[in-house]
Amino acid sequence: MPKRERNKFVRRGEIIEILIEDYAFGGKGIGRIRNEHGEFVVFVPNTLPGQLVKTQIKKTSKKYAEGKLFEVLKASDDEVDMPYQSIPGAPYIQLPIEKQHQYKKQSTLELFKRIGKVADIEDKFDEFVTSPNTFHYRNKMEYGFSAIGYDHDLKTDVDEFTLGFKKRGTWWCGDDLKKDSGLFDAEFENRLKEIKAYCVNTDLAPWHPPKREGFFRYFVVRKSYKTNQLLFNLVTTSYDLPKFDLNEFAKFLVELFGDRVAGLLHTINDETGDRTIATTGSISLVYGDDKIVEELLDLNFEISMKSFFQTNPKCAEKLYTKVVDYALENKDAVDNTVVLDLFCGTGTIGQIIANKAENTKIVGVDIVAAAIKDAEENAKRNGIEGLKFYAADVGKFLTEHPEYTNKIRTIILDPARAGIAPKTLKKIINLNAERLVYVSCNPATQARDTEQLMASGYTIKKMSLVDQFPHTAHIETVVLFEK
């Protein structure tokens, strides 16, 4: 077997400093190494042109390498000071929002040209939909406990109780959140240090990632923008649980936040995997209610700790409005027909269409049974009829329910990040619907699916981008396909 040629520019595992020169889709900054062997590209996620960064090389090939961001050594000239604590979940918070929009639009359209083979994508572009709230827009946050902290002065990890987020580039090291991050509820985040102090005073240990032991694991918070209430979930192991008074902790939260506290849940997670909700653990209500109510486009939705719900509800209203506008653009293809809402989640889009269309039957399908249960309850609560939900794999459903196939003229698609499985996409194409409204949280997989849709006789009529997650690389796309 021939010996693999050693990369002449970088080695896997090597830590290097590199200047970021360009921006690629998905928040990947492009740096270049130049030496006597020529020029070599290194992609570093969550970086910006103009930044000097420290990165560890994770993957190498003949043409390029991929690194993991450890630290920004020098800011870009485009960045501005912000009053918020910098966290890994908001890598671009110091970049003016207009610049963020420019990078997102340019890189997404390039992606559709390159992967989707849509040469005239600029001509199809409809609108860049901005988030109504640029800051404090999230309705859910997960804060992790760790027995290993980070000393920013000494630039090394230390043994200490932390509550916040992982230190950028590490899986074992926590970093205290000491003030508002600019993403979630400011009052809550400014008081997180008091919650940490309460937990420290119990003398119970935080989770130690390398040893996979400890008591405190996560503190998860959901917020309702309709009621301004907070729903808490404390995640611990069962070890030492008798020593922790959950009712006293609930009282402490009420002292801090008063009637903003909707409820406190407690989750036991003894698994070694790094997840908030364990497959084998239990979740119980300690205080108050186990749900909060949110409003989207005059419809009410009950949200539990496990429910999937849009993280930026104010922007989700704009996203859903765009989807419904595209769906109802040709109202004849919706009224008195069956609209298929595939990968429907909690059924929000289907409910809004049913509310606005005439004599339309909405058939929603999703593989997550809990989401379908929520969808049925939400439809009942909002008094919307003409909806039928199925908990099933989309591909399997399309094979097993031929009764709907001849009546479908419009299909809504909102798959997970992985996009649509090729076999399922084939079945969707075979339904021969006149129109598809395809919503995606990962334009790379949507662009891949676009090539197949176009080869099957569909063309893009219009496309919009929706900035659901300011200060991150994420962008949502809404594309209207027609035969």
Residue 454 is inside which H or E element, if any? Answer: helix 443-455
Chain mean position to CA 215: 27
441 included as an active-site residue: yes
343 is in an annotated binding site: yes
Query: In which region does residue 328 sit, left (phi positive, over 0), alpha (psi from -120 to 50) or beta (all else)?
Result: alpha
How many whole angstroms separate alpha carbon 25 and alpha carbon 200? 42
Contact (CB, 8 A) for 372 and 391: yes
Residue 246: its H or E element: helix 246-257
Closest CA to 414 of 439, 394, 389: 439
Directed axis angle between helix 369-381 and helix 348-356, to 10°?
Answer: 30
DSSP for 398-445, written as a single string: HHH-GGGGGGEEEEEE---TT---HHHHHHHHHT--SEEEEEES-HHH
Place of tokens 């339904």: 431
Straight-line distance from the first to the last Cα atom of the chain, in angstroms, rounded to the nearest whole number: 51
Distance of alpha carbon 233 from alpha carbon 239, whole angstroms: 18
Question: Is 216 known to sit in a ligand binding site?
Answer: no
Tell whether 157 is in a known binding site: no
Among candidate residues 92, 289, 288, 90, the one with its CA nearest the CA of residue 184: 90
Closest by CA to 347, choosing from 396, 381, 315, is: 381
Residue 35 token pair: 């030496």
Q: Considering 199, 315, 344, 441, which one is annotated as catalytic? A: 441
State the Cα–Cα distance between residues 9 and 34, nearest whole angstrom: 8
Residue 449 known to bind ligand:
no
* Phi, psi at 199, each rounded to 5°: -70, -40
DSSP 3-state of 260: helix
Point out the annotated binding site for S-adenosyl-L-methionine.
310, 343, 366, 414
Point out the annotated binding site.
310, 343, 366, 414
Active-site residues, by number, are 441
